């Protein structure tokens, strides 16, 4: 009997195994592998989550309108250029699914987020890593690794797990060196932890280019990893494509409701 065969690149992906949060002889262990908050969610978030519990039998707003408006107000961004997802992981996966496929290449720095290569393989694309310098993304190495088959370039800035970042000047140089048909994805999941004057999360690049998108998350500084909520700010053509392929209710009611949006 024949067995159905998956996309061959999928078999190059090892199933994810979560980090162990138990340690013999210790009662309380803080797991750092997923960068989970050690202090729990904010009281406002917990209160908002409790308030929405009576309406869990209803589907959420598929467009997460109230949440996008709240994000836009907080970050001074057009909510029509924001899309939400089940963590920024889902948005990374959707970008690979929408803009890459067999024979296409997805580029990222050597110690970038593991999901870049996994999402590329799942889309049937070829993951390509560029060497770093002192655990920092190297713009010249990234640009050198670009080929005619490159479709996306993922840059975690600041990067997990190295904690390094490239400056605004280097980020602008990276964008200037890319073809217009290559999407630069700036993964700013840790943007809230940077207070350097030479850093930018990338929103201004989005406003000036049609091939730059910034992904963010509520899992880290907001301490809401368990809710699986991420968002992206990008040009309308890219946001439109993501909205066409994402699930109709990909963000749960507990995170897209008015109460949680105002938490």
Average pLDDT of the residues of the chain: 90
pLDDT in tens, 78-96: 999 999 999 999 999 999 9
Judge whether residue 263 has pLDDT over 70. no
Model pLDDT, residue 102: 94
Cα distance between residue 174 and residue 109, in whole Å: 12
Structure confidence at residue 36 as a pLDDT band (50, 70, 90): confident
pTM for the complete prediction? 0.90
The distance of Cα 128 from the centroid of its chain, to the nearest Å, equals: 18
What class is the 81-261 domain?
alpha beta
The C-alpha atoms of residue 250 and residue 129 are separated, in whole angstroms, by 30
Q: Longest C-alpha distance within the chain, in Å? A: 63
Mapped to the 3 state alphabet, what secondary structure does 92-108 carry?
A: HHHHHHHHCCCCCEEEE
Asked if residue 137 lies in contact with residue 159, where contact means CB atoms within 8 angstroms, the answer is yes
The Cα 261–Cα 263 span in angstroms is 6
Structure tokens of 150? 């490159």
- Cβ 166 vs Cβ 174: under 8 Å: yes
pLDDT tens digits, one per residue of 41-63 = 888 888 888 888 888 888 888 89
pLDDT in tens, 218-237: 988 888 888 899 999 999 99
> What pLDDT is attached to residue 1?
83
pLDDT > 90 in the chain, percent: 66
Tokens of 220: 């880290």
Domain residue limits, the chain: 81-261
21 — pLDDT class (breaks 50, 70, 90): low
pLDDT at 26: 74
What is the per-residue pLDDT across 155-212, written as a single tens digit (0 to 9) for each?
999 998 899 999 999 999 999 999 999 999 999 999 999 999 999 999 999 999 999 9
Cα(95)–Cα(213) distance, rounded to whole angstroms?
10
User: Mean pLDDT throughout 235-244?
Assistant: 97
Decide if pLDDT at 15 tops 70: yes
* Residue pLDDT, tens place only, 92-110: 999 999 999 999 999 999 9
Q: Give the per-residue pLDDT at 35.
A: 78
């Amino acid at each position: 009997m024949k067995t159905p065969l998956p996309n061959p690149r999928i078999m190059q992906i090892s199933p994810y195994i979560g980090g162990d949060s138990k340690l013999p002889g210790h009662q309380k262990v803080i797991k750092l592998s997923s960068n989970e908050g050690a202090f729990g969610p904010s009281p406002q978030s917990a209160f908002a989550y409790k308030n929405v519990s009576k309406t869990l039998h209803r589907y959420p707003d598929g467009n997460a309108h109230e949440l996008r408006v709240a994000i836009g107000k907080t970050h001074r961004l057009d909510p029509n250029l924001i899309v939400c997802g089940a963590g920024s992981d889902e948005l990374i996966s959707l970008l690979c699914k929408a803009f890459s496929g067999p024979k296409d290449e997805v580029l990222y720095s050597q110690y970038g987020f593991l999901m870049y290569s996994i999402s590329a393989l799942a889309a049937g694309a070829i993951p390509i890593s560029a060497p770093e310098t002192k655990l920092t993304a190297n713009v010249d190495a990234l640009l050198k690794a670009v080929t005619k088959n490159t479709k996306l370039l993922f840059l975690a800035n600041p990067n997990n797990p190295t904690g390094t970042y490239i400056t605004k000047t280097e980020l602008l140089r990276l964008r200037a060196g890319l073809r217009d048909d290559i999407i630069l994805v700036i993964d700013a999941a840790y943007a809230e932890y940077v207070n350097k004057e030479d850093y930018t999360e990338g929103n201004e690049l989005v406003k000036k280019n049609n091939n730059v998108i910034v992904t963010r998350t509520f899992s880290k500084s907001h301490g809401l990893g368990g809710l699986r909520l991420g968002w992206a700010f990008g040009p309308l053509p890219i946001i439109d494509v993501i909205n066409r392929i994402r699930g109709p209710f990909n963000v749960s009611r507990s995170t897209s409701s008015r109460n949680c949006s105002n938490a």
